[in-house]
A and B are shown apart, each in its own frame.
Chain A
Amino acid sequence: MKHDVKRDVTVTIDGKPVTVKEGATLLDACKSHGVDTPTLCWAENLTPVNACRVCVVELEGARVLAPACSRKAEAGMVVKTDSPRVRLSRKLVLELLGSSVDMSLSSAFADYSKRYAAEPARFGKKLAPSAAGVRESAHPGHHTVLDGTRAETVAQPTKVDNELFVRDYDKCMLCYKCVEACGTDAQNTFAIAVAGRGFDARIATEHEATLPDSACVFCGNCVGVCPTGALMFKVEHDLRKSGEWDEKKQTETDTICPYCGVGCVLTLRVQDNAIVRVTSPSDSTVTGGHLCVKGRFGFTFVEENRRADRGGSD
């Protein structure tokens, strides 16, 4: 067995000394010390990208706030996680997101907004959704400056171009998780990337191709890591649309994928005796939280109308 030998590093968090292993982040240090740090773009099975800035902390002697999710703990660091500056910054991040993105499916966002008394409405009423394709064709410099009573948004129609998952970019906060899962952190397919600049930045396939015409292989690992419901299984999307999605009726059960010999752990979310979502625990040593198309979507063969006692022999 290979053993990694690491030195201890001690930092001060909110006045108390905290010792972690070399290589640990400030977020790890906060967690081990019981300090609950908000995160939106961070996930334990992805490389931190510092996109959302909601985890920022104050470092003594540093000019700017540091993202706790990626900043490595260094011996002697003095960290403040709840200073007025940190609180204000976190509040502003939440307000900017809340004013422009539909964060309604993120319970974490709701909790943080309450904690930091965020008021996204102070930027004005949300503008009406743009028509399909408008955000994809926007160019730098083509924006009208709003008068301060209304807020620019990313609202737009949902992209439904296949039967496996939909893209509702009205809910996209550009956390990059999907891009990372599609890229070097897991799938290495690179079907999506961030296109555009500034407020026009968006997640796009090559030349805005539909998913079936893109490089996408439908592993759904982007859906698995999406924290806001912008990427959603078609089954869930349809159930929500028809008002039948009911989390009180749902159960989650861990089992093993019925396909190849890798033995991926599947978490089956079930409503009314039907599978409505398949994910994998991010701490599984087999999957690291990621699946392939068969494990993620290939479950429909167990549906009742396909089974052996229907129309079979006696």
Chain B
Amino acid sequence: MWGSNARETHPIFFHHVLKAVRNGAKLYVIDPRRTSTADWAHGWLSLEVGSDVSLANGVAHVILKEQLQHEQFIERATEGFDEFKAVIDRYDLARVSADTHVDGELIAQMARDYAKADRAMICWTLGITEHHNAVDNVLALINLSLLTGHVGRWGSGLNPLRGQNNVQGGGDMGALPHKLVGFQDVEDDEIRGRFEKAWGCKIPAKNGWHLTEMFEAMHRGDLTALFVLGENPAQSEADSTHALKCLEGLEHLIVQDIVMTKTAEMAHVVLPASASWCESEGTVTNSERRVQRVRRALKPPGKARDDIEILCDLAHRLGFDMQTGTPEGLWNELRTLSPMHAGMSYARLEALGGIQWPCPDEKSAGSPFLHGRLWENPVRGMKASFNAAEQVGPVDKLDADFPLRLTTGRRLESFNTGVQSGAFAWPQKRGETLDLSPDDAKKLKVADGERVRIVSRRGTVEAPVRFDDDLKPGLAFMTFHFPDDVDTNLLTIDATDPRSGTAEFKAAAIRVERIRQ
């Protein structure tokens, strides 16, 4: 588990992990914090925030030095190994230990266990992806799976755990600036032509902007109207001062949501929507690519309407007759355009308890894992590339003015900006805190529970201190679950990875000031 506190953020997934651990699987947790996930690990690697590439390269270094790589797989199914090796040669354990502050023997032990395992999996979440070099982090992990052949086989692989119930499904359905349904390229004329024919309309031939690019365009004044569906960017974006300024500068903001979020409060028009998971019919896709049915259990209140109805009405007002149809009818239309969904009728989804894509026809039971082709001899299609990554630390540097490393994350009972999770009566509610190691707190002369000022290069917030033995000195932790009380994202930095567009929520430089009475 790399950069994932699944015990709290994906609890039912972690039930499966614990079952495996009880069956003899070895668990390593790579996390700066001693999380409740790390509590279950055979090895906890408490790396410095943002030193993931170095650590992964160090693991590769050990594997190569001890000849534990899967030669046959590398030879047959991969390319770019020599260039990769040339980089890895420079990541010996002395250097990696210096970068990561993790004991070299522990790194070597994890490398050996990973490489020698019959089946091994790397799971990660935002600890990997919420960095300015997120894509490098992911590539560094992919390299490890290619080096050992732990990919494309039952029980082995790479598993990025999805954070929301349909973030995978959103991508599947083409809610990406460069893809149509089923991850088909917008800029491919033939593919686009197929969609244009089916839909009876012209589709813009160029890739659009992703979220970060949209904010940049708002900043430049190139994007003047924004339609937000079920998202709360006024509170979820890094460096929220900047995000709010961008949103405030819009000529027109429409928000379609089930509740009045902070973003909805800023909107010119709010379209009250039904709650997709319990007030409408459809499908969602989970982290294991399993498409499952959501069903209507409740009647939406008041003027709230189904998302599909709203969108079709909007299309109508814009002069295009988009037939509403039934959710099942729309789904069947999608199955004709997206080969990976073709075999997933509602009846089969029901009968099989969900189906994992790709599922090309009605005889297919779906695909429990991907990339099995890498084990065919000869390999069908493209070989998998090694992409060596180099260690680059966080953008927001520590110095005498900002000496503490703030990392952000989530807690078991809460979810993102608290729009959903803030409503129920969690009995142990404690609100937002600045979690500090007792050593740092002592140095700062602050008491447990004392309200302090937290300052970054971008903003200032106040919050009570909570002593946390699971943090090492120099590391502080906050969530952004209670942005109405403590807007943690005033502190975070919107240094984004140019390829993924994700901001470096995991690494800000802060100082803590006592509030004089």
| Interface residues of A, Cβ cutoff 8 Å to B | 1-2, 161-164, 184, 186-188, 211-212, 217-219, 251, 253-265, 268, 270, 273-275, 283-288, 290-295, 297-304, 306-314
Contacts and interface: CB of A to CB of B under 8 A. Distances in A.
Interface string B297-308: 111011110000
B284 interface: yes
Contact of B284 (A184, A251, A256): A256
Nearest to A212: B427
Name B's interface SS: loop
B412 interface: yes
A261 B164 contact: yes
Contact of B286 (A188, A261, A268, A298): A261
Given A256-B277, A263-B286, A273-B298, A298 B415 contact: yes
A304 B300 CA distance: 8
B402 to A, nearest CB: 32
19 contacts: A162-B427, A164-B424, A184-B22, A186-B15, A254-B295, A256-B284, A258-B277, A258-B278, A260-B165, A261-B161, A262-B286, A263-B288, A268-B278, A268-B298, A273-B298, A286-B12, A298-B420, A301-B420, A307-B272
A308 B264 CA distance: 8
B13 A164 contact: no
Interface of B: 9-13, 15, 18, 22, 40, 154-155, 161-165, 167-168, 257-260, 264-265, 267-270, 272-273, 275-279, 284-288, 290, 292-299, 301-304, 353-354, 368, 412-413, 415, 419-428
Nearest to B14: A188
A163 B424 CA distance: 9
A136 to B, nearest CB: 20
Given A163-B427, A218-B427, A309 B302 contact: yes
Contacts of A258: 165, 275-278, 420
B165 A293 contact: no
Contact of B162 (A253, A260, A298, A301): A260
Contacts of B413: 217-218, 293-294, 298
Contacts, number: 203
A295 B273 CA distance: 21
B346 to A, nearest CB: 13
B12 A290 contact: yes
Contacts of B422: 301
A163 B425 contact: yes
B304 A308 contact: yes
Contacts of B11: 219, 262, 292-293
Contacts of B302: 304, 307, 309-310
Given A257-B277, A294-B415, A307-B258, A263 B290 contact: yes
